[in-house]
Amino acid sequence: MLRVYSSMKAGDRLIVVPGDLLPKDTVGPEQYLVETDSGKMPLVVGLLDMRGDKPSFIPLKGTYMPRKGDIVIGLIVSQGVMNWFVDIKAPYNAVLNVQDFLGRPFNPMTDDMSRMLQIGDYIKARIEAFDRSRSPVLSVNDEGLGRIVEGKVIEVSPTRIPRIIGKKKSMLEMLTEETGCDIYPAVNGRVHLKCEEQDMEAVAILAIKRIEREAHTMGLTERIKRFIREEKSIRGA
């Protein structure tokens, strides 16, 4: 049965399912919304949030679909002759060419790929090209991109990343302030943490996993803040 949400009031927040009709001005991840003459329809289960200037759709289920320009955290899973194959938590493995990694032509006589990147390494990369007719092509030629050499990477559902960031980065800023960790949530469902203290790393991971479980609930930011402070108190931090 088609449910129409164009008459929702400001402040409302409801769970919606595929086939529901959302307001025309609803904003959210484009890969999970279809535009129709009457409004927008979600392709996955999610939340319709009317608390902002525009209705926003927050997906609660779904896989990551690559888009050109996305910054992702990838896992090296195998090595080719002149490239690496990278798991980016999408239906397709991505490819990183050795020339891109080096920033210069590859010389097989002097360059040892196995010393540059190994299976199991994480990288932060930009999706340079993707058109569904071939594997996504990655690039690390930009500031802040390349092999991740410190910190920890944790896995979450890609659809929970917007909730980990929060409206106007409210959740992410709270997590950073309360834990003192540098936290980077990548759109493909991996989060990179760099924490000075091991206890704070553990607290940050617990908090992020709780956000993942409770993404559909109200008042989550304040509840997570209290949770972090309780965990810090237990650890004497």
Tokens (6 digits) for 68: 């050109």
Q: What is the pLDDT of residue 1?
A: 47
Q: How many helices (H) and strands (E) does the chain have?
A: 6, 14
**Domains of the chain, earliest start first:** 13-59 (2.40.50), 71-147 (2.40.50.140), 152-234 (3.30.1370.10)
Check pLDDT > 90 for residue 106.
no
Does this model's pTM top 0.85?
no
Reply yes or no on whether the pLDDT at 195 is more than 70.
yes
Where are the strands (E) in the chain, listed by range?
Answer: 13-16, 33-35, 40-42, 46-49, 56-59, 71-79, 83-87, 94-97, 122-129, 137-139, 146-147, 152-155, 182-186, 190-194
pLDDT average, residue stretch 74-81: 95
Q: In this structure, are residues 112 and 68 in contact, taking their beta carbons and an 8 Å threshold?
A: no
Q: 14-72 pLDDT, tens per residue?
A: 889 898 999 889 988 887 899 998 899 998 888 888 877 888 888 887 889 899 999 99
d(CA 28, CA 186): 16
The closest alpha carbon to 90, from 38, 51, 125, 142, belongs to: 125
pLDDT in tens, 203-227: 999 999 999 999 878 889 999 999 9
Residue from 115, 54, 114, 64 nearest 94 by CA: 64
In this predicted structure, the answer to whether residue 5 has a pLDDT above a threshold of 50 is yes
Collapse the DSSP code of 188 into the 3-class scheme (helix H, G, I; strand E, B; otherwise coil) and give the result: coil
CB atoms within 10 A of CB 191: 25
